[in-house]
Amino acid sequence: MVTAAGSAREFGQGVRLLVQGFGWWRRRPGLMLWGLLPAAIVSLVLGAALIALATQLPWLTDAVTPFADAWPGVWSVLLRVALGAAVFGGALALTAVTFTALTLIVGEPFYDRIWRAVEAEGGTVPEAGPGFWRSVGDGVDLIVRGAGVGILAFLLGLVPVVGGIAGTVIGVVLTGRLLADELSSRALAARGYDRRARRALLRTRRARALGFGVATQVCFLVPLGAVITMPAAVVGATLLAGDLIPVGAAED
């Protein structure tokens, strides 16, 4: 039986995996620097899109709530602020998974080098690499599921008073799960695990995977955090995959 204390420890272990990933900036700075390039390119594009959305939110909220013009001032303002927060919260959730998917696709050669270096330290590097088209397929799947999380975060954000906080928290947690799934897929797919088998493995260490994913998502929300975190997240996800794989299978 899994206890709350045990789940908390597992969650902390997941966070520690990302911290270990950041440790590679000190150990292998040259290798990690390669991972900045694709992350920076994608971050600039998506960051510009978020800024454009933020600047248009007042106009957008006014345009979709013309009925509130006749309301008392405070209520119309509260409605439009809540709607704007809901829209932006949903956009943040979608942006996080889109950033990860696009960065892994664009940076496939760079992150492949980081992944192989981490695997080499743990033993034998699997001969079967994840492959470009598998990365594309997984990326599309991640974006689709991320859109679902974004819609859910948006709908929760519409709930009066607590909606903004609830939408943000649920969005971070669900996005963290998606990030753990996608980032660990490279190491698991290289060992022959298909999508269904990978998710089954993640469920065996649910709290640990969630801790890693949530920590990664929180770092992504910090300005420039996504760029610096992405190479460390690749390292941490490879270590996470090693924790998930049964001992006998890891030796095959």
Sequence length of the chain is 252
pLDDT confidence bin for 230, thresholds 50/70/90:
very high
The yes-or-no verdict on residue 111 having pLDDT over 50 is yes
Residues whose CB falls within 8 Å of the CB of residue 130, separated by 6 or more in sequence, listed in order: 112, 185, 186, 189, 190
Provide the pLDDT for residue 247: 45
- Average of per-residue pLDDT across 204-208: 91
Which string of DSSP letters, residue by residue, matches 83-143? Answer: HHHHHHHHHHHHHHHHHHHHHHHHTHHHHHHHHHHHHHHHSPPPSS---HHHHHHHHHHHH
Give the pTM: 0.81
CA distance 11 to 24: 21
Which of the pair, 240 or 246, is modelled with greater confidence?
240
Q: What percent of the chain has pLDDT over 90?
A: 23
Lowest mean pLDDT among 78-87, 119-128, 172-181, 233-242: 119-128
Provide the pLDDT for residue 251: 43
What pLDDT digit, counting tens, does each position of 153-172 carry?
777 777 766 767 777 788 88
CA distance 230 to 236: 10
Q: Which of 240, 226, 234 is nearest to 96 (CA)?
A: 226
Distance of CA 237 to the CA centre of its chain: 11
CA distance 14 to 160: 33
Residues whose CB falls within 8 Å of the CB of residue 109, separated by 6 or more in sequence, listed in order: none
The yes-or-no verdict on residue 63 having pLDDT over 70 is yes
What pLDDT digit, counting tens, does each position of 13-39 carry?
999 999 999 999 999 999 999 889 899
- Average of per-residue pLDDT across 166-188: 86
Output the average pLDDT for the chain: 83
By CB neighbour count within 10 A (0-12 exposed, 13-18 middle, 19+ buried), where does 123 fall? Answer: exposed
First to last CA, the chain: 30
